[in-house]
């Protein structure tokens, strides 16, 4: 039995080597201009080639018989044709139709839904609900995902229930899932739709050809300059969502006679106030890619980033929604007659990627890449010491707390009955103010916080502020590295091997953003001070400098780094027979 099994396995491995292979060659041109198109991917099963400057391609070691030839290129509609391959050399020419904005409205809307994930849609704590966006970048290639990818689905749709850490997102073959949370940060792309539109995505554990693959799917965004068709595109949009105005432009030279190709893009998004009250948005994005073709070698450099400043909105309890509606935002209040938001996000993710591709021969290729990514993310919030919680939606500031106090009062004697009526009247009064939208009740009272600090300055000038605005920083520096080797052994068997490595340094700390009129903030743990009144060491955030006074821009509270190193290697065979993969 064992001998028969070994003979069968040997036969399955040997048969492909005896299958007579043919070749297919031809020229790919533009349907409208009849000019040759470079960098068109031509594929028959797992045998593929890319057209040169003159649009020429040749597929070698193709098995004779009926096949489907697929042509794909940036800015052109995908094209497939049934073709009969005979022994020897076969000729197949093709013309591709350019994508037109008026004919691809649904596709453009889909891309906007995927890549226009502004930072306000990404949960700051990295919850599971916010980590489902990456795989939808391949929705254009999948009928089901295309139907599921409506405006809000990136926040609420997980492919097969997998969170984003189960999916991998690559840029030019480099893995950009961060090593701390395991997810890809789509806000780092900064709305650069046109620059990031070239992508390959596969379902589940299918072999992507540039990596081992992931349980939830794998996506690769290709930003090499030669993948963009020559030309200029400029557009503008006006919306009533997170931002009001968006303008973007992209220019690409295509491959020039000297072997160089350049692509540049800029985008700007702005709103003085979004649909949610008290929010604003200000973001600029840039993209630049350069590539040099030198014989069998290609060298590519890409850099992009999107410095952004935006105000946040919050999710609140059902009670608050019942009073103020779904667009209520407790994070802002009036200061000197103008709206001021307490939760301001600053984000900037400058990224640079260098790639080298070497076509060793017609069947084998070696690629290498190295990247640098520095995510700068911070968010402001109100901190307070020995003072009432200033949040308007804090549970003790809501009418329900007053009604609760009525239910838990002591014996119903005449004295308590009197105060029950007083509290009941107070609760009803607060409820009426919430319904009316009185900003002194429903929004942050900035003037009250400044006043509390001024009073504290006069009473205790060396003491800690009552209220400050702190900024919580979560920065991440990453250096990914990748080597990939592919070899088309024959028409049925393709070998892929790769090495991936990444170093990450996460930097987490707080700084004083605004003292709100106070003299200083004392760097102690007020919760420890409450619970351990007799131990001065426990309450210190910095034992080397106890009771340290901090001022605007100083670090305090916590300050730590996380170092993560990850490396992996893989080797796999992609084996495709007529009826079996």
Other residues' Cβ atoms within 10 Å of the Cβ of residue 456: 21
Between strands 89-91 and 21-30, the pairing is: parallel
Strand partners, 500: 482, 568
3-state secondary structure of 88: coil
Q: What's the CA gap between 6 and 3, in Å, rounded? A: 5
User: What was the pLDDT predicted at 122?
Assistant: 44
Structure tokens at 433: 């103010």
Dihedral angle over CA of 304, 165, 131, 134, nearest 10: 50
Other residues' Cβ atoms within 10 Å of the Cβ of residue 433: 16
pLDDT lower than 50: segments of the chain? 14-19, 101-140, 150-155
User: What was the pLDDT predicted at 410?
Assistant: 52
3-state secondary structure of 553: coil
Which of 83, 163, 85, 179 lies closest to 130 in space, CA to CA?
163
Name the CATH architecture for the domain at 2-96.
Sandwich (2.60)
Which of 1, 171, 14, 46 lies closest to 486 in space, CA to CA?
46
Q: Quick one: which H or E segment has residue 77?
A: strand 76-85
Q: What's the CA gap between 133 and 127, in Å, rounded? A: 12
User: What was the pLDDT predicted at 239?
Assistant: 84
Other residues' Cβ atoms within 10 Å of the Cβ of residue 521: 26
- Encode pLDDT of 154-207 as tens digits: 445 666 777 878 889 999 999 999 999 888 888 888 889 889 988 888 877 888
Structure tokens at 512: 């004083």
User: What was the pLDDT predicted at 172?
Assistant: 94
Residue listed under structure tokens 């094209």: 79
Residue listed under structure tokens 């084996």: 575
Which of 251, 255, 217 lies closest to 232 in space, CA to CA?
251
492, 16 contact by CB (below 8 A): yes
Angle between helices 414-436 and 399-407 (to 10 degrees): 160
Q: What is the DSSP string of 220-270?
A: EE---GGGS-SEEEEEEEE-SSS-SEEEEEEEE--S-TTSEEEEEEEEEEE
User: What was the pLDDT predicted at 114?
Assistant: 35
Q: What's the CA gap between 209 and 382, in Å, rounded? A: 49
Which of 80, 33, 68, 40 lies closest to 56 in space, CA to CA?
40
Listed by start position, the domains of the chain span 2-96, 105-382+473-509+563-575, 393-438
């Amino acid at each position: 039995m064992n001998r028969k099994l070994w003979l069968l396995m040997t036969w399955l491995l040997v048969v492909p080597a005896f299958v007579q292979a043919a070749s297919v060659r031809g020229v790919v041109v533009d349907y409208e201009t009849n000019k040759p198109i470079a960098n068109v991917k031509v594929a028959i099963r797992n045998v593929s080639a890319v057209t040169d400057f003159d649009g020429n391609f040749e597929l070698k070691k193709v098995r004779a018989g009926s096949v489907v030839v697929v042509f794909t290129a940036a800015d052109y509609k995908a094209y497939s044709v049934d073709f009969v391959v005979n022994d020897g050399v076969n000729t197949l020419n093709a013309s591709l139709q350019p994508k037109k904005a008026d004919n691809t409205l649904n596709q453009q809307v889909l891309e906007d839904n995927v890549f226009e994930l502004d930072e306000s849609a990404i949960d700051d704590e990295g919850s599971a609900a916010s980590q489902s966006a990456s795989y939808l970048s391949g929705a254009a290639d999948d009928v089901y995902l295309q139907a599921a990818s409506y405006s809000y689905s990136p926040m609420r749709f997980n492919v097969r229930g997998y969170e984003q850490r189960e999916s991998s997102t690559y840029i030019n073959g480099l893995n950009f899932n961060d090593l701390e949370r395991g997810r890809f940060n789509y806000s780092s792309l900064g709305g650069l739709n046109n620059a990031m539109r070239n992508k390959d995505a596969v379902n589940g554990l299918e072999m992507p050809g540039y990596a081992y693959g992931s349980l939830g799917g794998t996506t690769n965004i290709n930003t090499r300059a030669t993948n963009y068709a020559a030309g200029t595109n400029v557009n503008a949009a006006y919306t009533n969502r997170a931002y009001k105005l968006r303008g973007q432009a992209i220019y690409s030279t295509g491959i020039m006679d000297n072997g160089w190709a350049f692509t540049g893009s800029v985008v700007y998004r702005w709103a003085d106030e979004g649909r949610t009250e008290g929010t604003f948005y200000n973001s600029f994005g840039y993209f630049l890619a350069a590539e040099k073709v030198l014989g069998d070698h290609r060298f590519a450099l890409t850099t992009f980033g999107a410095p952004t400043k935006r105000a946040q909105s919050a999710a609140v309890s059902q009670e608050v929604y019942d009073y103020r509606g779904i667009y209520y935002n407790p994070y802002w209040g009036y200061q000197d007659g103008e709206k001021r938001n307490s939760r301001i996000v600053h984000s900037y993710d400058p990224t640079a990627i260098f790639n080298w591709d070497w076509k060793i021969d017609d069947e084998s290729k070696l690629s290498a890449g190295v990247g640098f990514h520095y995510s700068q993310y911070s968010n402001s919030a109100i901190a307070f010491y020995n003072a009432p919680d200033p949040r308007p939606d804090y549970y003790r500031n809501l009418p329900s707390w007053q009604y609760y106090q009525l239910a838990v009062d002591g014996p119903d004697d005449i004295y308590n009955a009197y105060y029950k009526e007083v509290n009941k009247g107070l609760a009803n009064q607060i409820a009426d103010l919430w319904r009316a939208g009185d900003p002194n009740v429903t929004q942050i009272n900035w003037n009250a916080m400044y006043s509390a600090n001024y009073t504290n300055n006069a009473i205790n000038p060396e003491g800690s502020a009552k209220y400050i605005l702190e900024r919580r920083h979560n920065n991440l520096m990453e250096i990914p590295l990748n080597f990939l080797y592919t070899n088309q052994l024959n028409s049925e068997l393709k070998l892929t091997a790769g090495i991936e490595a990444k170093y990450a340094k996460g930097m987490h700390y707080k700084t004083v953003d605004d003292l709100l009129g106070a003299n200083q903030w004392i760097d102690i743990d007020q919760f420890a001070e409450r619970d351990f009144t007799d131990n001065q060491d426990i309450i210190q955030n910095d034992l080397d400098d106890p009771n340290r006074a901090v001022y605007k821009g100083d670090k305090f509270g916590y300050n730590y780094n996380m170092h993560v190193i990850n490396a992996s290697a893989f080797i796999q065979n992609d084996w495709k027979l007529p009826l079996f993969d």
